[in-house]
């Protein structure tokens, strides 16, 4: 089932599109990312977000 998650540190999850509501989160106020995982781990979305800082060559 589609849900929306924050890829910051708050671990926020919502059933509808929106923005991060945690003021202590680095992504506060930023749009939530769509996730369609079934196990609640959000691995697909999280791995994409972390991939940006991965720069091995
Ligand atoms: Zn957040
Ligand atoms: Zn998920």
Instruction: Please tell me the pTM assigned to this model.
Output: 0.75
Q: Cα separation of 1 and 35, whole Å?
A: 8
pLDDT at 52 over 80: no
Q: How far is the CA of 14 from the centre of ligand 1 (A)?
A: 11
Q: Answer whether residue 29 shows pLDDT above 90.
A: yes
The pLDDT of residue 53 is above 70: no
Expressed in angstroms and rounded, the spacing between residue 20 Cα and the centre of ligand 1 is 5
Residues 13-27, mean pLDDT to the nearest whole number: 96
What is the pairing mode between strands 13-14 and 3-5? Answer: antiparallel
At 47 the pLDDT is 64
Nearest alpha carbon to residue 23 among 35, 36, 10: 10
Segments making up each domain of the chain, as ranges? 1-51
**Ligand with an atom nearest the CA of residue 22:** 1
Task: Indicate the average pLDDT of the chain.
Answer: 86
Which residues, 6+ apart, have CB-to-CB distance to 43 below 8 Å? 37
Q: Tell me how far the alpha carbon of residue 43 lies from the centroid of ligand 2, in angstroms.
A: 7
d(CA 40, ligand 2 centre) in Å: 5
| pLDDT band of 55, cuts 50, 70, 90 | low
């Amino acid at each position: 089932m589609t849900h929306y998650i924050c890829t910051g540190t708050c671990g926020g999850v919502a059933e509808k599109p929106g923005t991060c509501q945690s003021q202590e989160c680095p992504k506060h106020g930023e749009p939530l990312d769509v996730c369609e995982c079934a196990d609640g781990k959000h691995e697909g979305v999280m791995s994409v977000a972390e991939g940006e800082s991965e720069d091995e060559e």
